């Protein structure tokens, strides 16, 4: 019984691995090696049983120019098993007759690399009877009763839109909000759509979109992928193109202007044929609506122009709770939470002759994800107590911030109590201070009083001698 179970599990694992390997099959097909001047060469990339979420650029070919792409999806049910194939075809238009080489190349499809050995391509004179390519319409269409002319294409109404949204319509000065620039496509949309060089467009759009009166924390979206959202009871696929958290620096409203974004929109064939094209590439520009976020002033407070805004907590550590005077200890004051971590100001440290604190080491950590910015800013101090006693560090360390949810100011204070033993070090500190060379010569100088007029008489005599020397030198010069 155990042997049978083991065999069954092994066979199941074998078929499962085989199925996964088959399910993720990616392959490249090349067009005909003979291409007339009035036709095109194509490269086709296909993936089976998996949605094609991303693919890298098609290669360039000497003697050809790229002339757009088209995509298609096919599915079938055989013996109760569903299979599908999604393809993208890149068309190349020849520039002149001759023989050209498509060098070996590789492409990344859904993060998986697939290679092609390339081939020689011969461009011949225009021919009305030759086939265009192995994936496009050709003269065989006449044998099946399909006309050579392009089919009639129709423009389907798409159910999609472009929008810039914010998670808050009103914020306090310094309070963060998240802005999302995304494209939305309804689940029941029938019009084929595709992104058109989104990176290049975004670099131009951000010059107008980014507000000048805010600190920005960019979420750095590298790959555009879909996520399901529901708007007004209707399901959409949202494709985030850009997302960032903004923190107002003044009381001016934060305004996002209306910006355009171009998409590839395909017109579909009214009566698609087996050998003909089933879609025609076109372009459509979508625009966002202007969006404004109001900024409110913080309530009155002596530090309202210096405090950070957000939800924060304190995590503190000390390497020892008991220390002798003159010895050092290490103390960490770690502020963490959600808000503008880069804008956190240094804690306020009360000065005291009983204890010396040196400038801290600072470590900052910022996390951007899930539509929010969080992190921490850790201050590490070294302290040396000069007087024995018990010390509450809350009397030395405090940090004030404004909580926009509670709509009030709050203070983070230390809860550490330090016990200091030993003798006072205040006098030792004073005696160890170098007072300079003036005081070093006190013991070697005489205590006798001196007449200040004697010093002036000698100065007058010296000046007269100098004038006499100058006069003699002038007399000798003029005499010669």
Mean pLDDT of 448-456: 60
Residues 6+ apart with CB under 8 A from 303: 400
Handedness of CA 217, 222, 227, 229 (dihedral sign): positive
**In contact, 270 and 151? CB cutoff 8 Å:** yes
Q: Using CA atoms, how far apart are residues 159 and 195, in angstroms rounded to an integer? A: 15
pLDDT score of 9 more than 50: no
Q: Domain 308-431 is in which class?
A: mainly beta
Q: How large is the C-alpha radius of gyration of the chain?
A: 40
CB atoms inside a 10 Å sphere around CB 115: 10
Q: Beta partners for 293?
A: 254
In which residue are the tokens 């109404």 written? Answer: 157
Q: How far is the C-alpha of 217 from the C-alpha of 368, rounded, in Å?
A: 8
DSSP 230: E
Which of 3.90.220, 2.40.50, 3.30.1380, 2.60.40 would CATH assign to domain 26-136?
Answer: 2.60.40
Contact between 341 and 377 (Cβ < 8 Å): yes
Q: So what's the pLDDT on residue 21?
A: 39
Average pLDDT on 25-36 reads: 89
Q: Work out whether strand 417-421 and strand 322-324 pair parallel, antiparallel, or are unpaired.
A: parallel
Average pLDDT value for residue range 222-228: 86
pLDDT score of 332 more than 60: yes
Sorted by where each begins, the domain ranges of the chain are 26-136, 160-296, 308-431
What's the pTM?
0.59
The string of DSSP codes covering 157-210 is PP-EEEEEEES-SEEETT--EEEEEEEEEETT--S-EEE-SHHHHHHHHHHHHS
pLDDT digits (tens, 9 = 90+) for 466-476: 888 887 777 77
**Average pLDDT estimate for 219-240:** 90
The pLDDT confidence band at residue 377, using thresholds 50, 70 and 90, is very high
pLDDT score at 136? 43
Name beta bridge partners: 335: 314, 377
Token reading at 460: 């007058």
**Given this chain, do its domains 26-136 and 308-431 carry the same CATH topology?**
yes
Pairing of strands 361-369, 372-385: antiparallel
Share of the chain above pLDDT 90, in %: 48
pLDDT of residue 20: 40
Q: pLDDT per residue over 283-302, tens digit each?
A: 999 999 999 999 999 999 99
Does residue 348 or residue 435 have the better pLDDT? 348
Give the closest residue to 138 by CA, choosing from 44, 277, 281, 278.
277
340: phi then psi, degrees, rounded to nearest 5? -80, 90
Judged on CB neighbours under 10 Å (0-12, 13-18, 19+), 91 is buried
Q: State residue 317's pLDDT score.
A: 95
379-418 burial code (b ≥16 CB/10 A, e <16): bebebbbbbbeebebeebbbbbbbbbeeeebeebbbebeb
Q: In the prediction, which pLDDT does 440 show? A: 60
pLDDT digits (tens, 9 = 90+) for 167-222: 999 999 999 999 999 999 998 888 889 998 888 999 999 999 999 999 999 998 88
């Amino acid at each position: 019984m155990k042997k049978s179970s083991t065999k069954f599990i092994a066979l199941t694992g074998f078929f499962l691995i085989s199925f996964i390997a088959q399910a993720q099959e990616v392959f490249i097909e090349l067009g005909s090696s003979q291409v007339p001047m009035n036709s095109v060469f194509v490269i086709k990339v296909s993936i089976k049983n998996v949605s094609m979420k991303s693919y890298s650029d098609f290669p360039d070919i000497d003697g050809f120019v790229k002339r757009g792409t088209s995509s298609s999806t096919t599915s079938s049910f055989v013996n109760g098993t569903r299979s599908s194939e999604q393809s993208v075809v890149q068309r190349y238009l020849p520039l002149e007759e001759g023989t050209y080489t498509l060098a070996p190349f590789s492409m990344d499809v859904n993060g998986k690399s697939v290679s092609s050995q390339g081939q020689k391509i011969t461009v011949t004179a225009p021919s009305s009877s030759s086939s265009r390519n192995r994936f496009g319409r050709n003269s065989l269409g006449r044998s099946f009763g399909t006309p050579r002319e392009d089919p009639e294409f129709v423009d389907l109404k798409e159910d999609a839109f472009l929008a810039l949204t914010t998670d808050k319509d009103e914020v306090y000065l310094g309070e963060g909000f998240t802005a999302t620039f995304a494209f939305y496509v309804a689940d029941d949309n029938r019009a084929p759509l595709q992104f058109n060089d989104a990176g290049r467009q975004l670099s131009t759009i951000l010059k107008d979109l980014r507000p000048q009166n805010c600190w920005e924390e960019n979420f750095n979206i590298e790959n555009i992928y879909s996520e399901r959202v529901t708007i007004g009871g209707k399901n959409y696929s949202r494709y985030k193109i850009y997302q960032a958290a903004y923190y107002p620096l003044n009381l001016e409203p934060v305004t996002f202007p209306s910006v355009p974004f171009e998409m590839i929109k395909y017109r579909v064939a009214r009566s698609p044929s087996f050998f003909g094209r089933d879609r025609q590439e076109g372009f459509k520009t979508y625009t966002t609506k202007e969006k404004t976020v109001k900024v409110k002033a913080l309530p009155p407070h002596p530090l309202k122009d210096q405090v950070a805004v957000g939800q924060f907590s304190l995590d503190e550590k000390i390497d020892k709770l008991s220390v002798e005077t003159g010895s050092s200890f290490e103390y960490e004051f770690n502020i963490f939470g959600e808000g503008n971590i880069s804008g956190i100001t240094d804690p306020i440290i009360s000065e005291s002759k009983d204890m010396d604190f040196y400038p801290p080491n600072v470590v900052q950590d910022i996390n951007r994800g899930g539509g929010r910015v969080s992190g921490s800013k850790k201050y590490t101090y070294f302290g040396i107590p000069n007087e024995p006693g018990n010390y509450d560090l809350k009397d030395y360390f405090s940090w004030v911030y404004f909580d926009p949810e509670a709509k009030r100011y709050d203070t983070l204070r230390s809860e550490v109590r330090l016990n200091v033993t030993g003798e006072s070090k205040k006098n030792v500190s004073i005696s160890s201070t170098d007072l300079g060379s003036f005081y070093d010569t006190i013991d070697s100088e005489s205590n006798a009083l001196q007449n200040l007029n004697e010093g002036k008489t000698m100065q007058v005599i010296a000046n007269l001698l100098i004038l006499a020397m100058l006069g003699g030198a002038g007399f000798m010069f003029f005499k010669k």
